[in-house]
Amino acid sequence: MENSYKLTDELNLLDPTTARLYHDEFDDLVLEIAGRDPERGILVVRCFPISAGDRFIALCTRKEKELGIVEDLAALDPDSRNALADALARAYFRPQITAVYAITEEHHIPRWQVDTDRGPRTFEIRSSRRDIRVLSQGRVLIRDADGNQYEIPNYRRLDVDSRALVEDQV
């Protein structure tokens, strides 16, 4: 039997050498592929928002039709890369926790007082079991009671006090 079907052909990858991304005067992301009309108002979706945030980024129209996937952010030309990174940072607001000052519990609701790369913040967690996700290498993802997300890149690298507080919770 002739082996004509290749699974990876299903991928709709964008050629990083011909695709250009930038923000227009409406502050919308625009995708330009050589020889085609530019697509405005692009939405960016990470295929692996947790395990590989800078790879496999789907670009979609407002009506959620996928135009193609950027396999690796780093392969784009510098301007496009910055534009895409900027759009991703805006769409995925997930501050990184740099220190934990206190975790107090009232009525079984832990309230975290932390410092993040975006400034100090206090938030509450509804259920430590469901809303705190511990990944490999000490990486911790936290979703607070309102659906905001936070990340600890490696809780074992936090200062001693912060680390003790986090360890009590995970």
Partner 1 sequence: MSEANTDTDPILPLATDLPAEALALLPPEETIRLSITTDIKLDGLYGPAWLLATDQRLLAFSPDGGGPPDIVNLALAEIESLEIQDLYGSGALKARTQTTGQTIALFSKTLNAKFAPLPEALEKLIRQAQPIDDDKKILRGRLDRAYLKRRCEHCGQVIPRRMGVCPSCLESSKLLNRFLAYSLPYWPLAVTSLAILLIGTFIGLTPPLLLRTLIDNVLSPAATGASNAISLPLLGPTSASGALAYLVLGLLLINVSRNILGAVRSYLLARLGEQITFDMRRQVYRHLHRLSLNFYNDRDTGRIMASVTHDVGRLQDFLSDGLQETIRNILTILIICSLLFYLNAGLAVYVLLPTPLIVLVTIHFGKRLHRIYTPLWRRWAGISALLADVIPGVRVVKAFAQEHREVEKFESRSEDLLQGELRAARTRSLFSPLMSFLTSLGTLIIWWVGGNKVLGQSMSLGEFVAFTGYMWQFYGPVESLCRLNHRFQRAATSAERVFEVLDSQPDVDDAPDAKQLPSINGRVEFRNVSFAYEPGTPVIENLSFTVEPGEMIGLAGHSGAGKSTLINLICRFYEIDEGSILVDGHDIREVQLRSLRDQVGVVLQEPFLFNGSVADNIAYGKPEATLNEIIAAAMAANAHDFICGLPDGYDSIVGERAVRLSGGERQRLSIARAILRDPRVLILDEATASMDTETEAQIQEALARLVKGRTTFAIAHRLSTLRNADRLFIIEKGRLEEMGTHNELVALDGIYARLVHMQTEMSRIRAL
Residues that bind partner 1 (CB under 8 A): 25-28, 49, 89-95, 106-109, 116, 118-121, 123-124, 126-130, 144-149, 168
Minimum Å distance from CB 123 to partner 1?
8
Choose between 79 and 105: whose C-beta lies nearer to partner 1. Answer: 105
Q: How far is the CB of 92 from partner 1 (least distance, A)?
A: 5
Terminal C-alpha separation, the chain? 53
- Closer residue to partner 1, CB minimum distance, 35 or 65: 65
Whose structure tokens read 């995708």? 31
Least Cβ distance, residue 44 to partner 1 (angstroms): 10
For residue 132, give every residue at least 6 positions away whose Cβ sits within 8 Å of its Cβ, in sequence order, or none: 125, 140, 141, 142, 143, 169, 170
CA-based radius of gyration for the chain = 20
Q: 């659906």: which residue's tokens?
A: 147
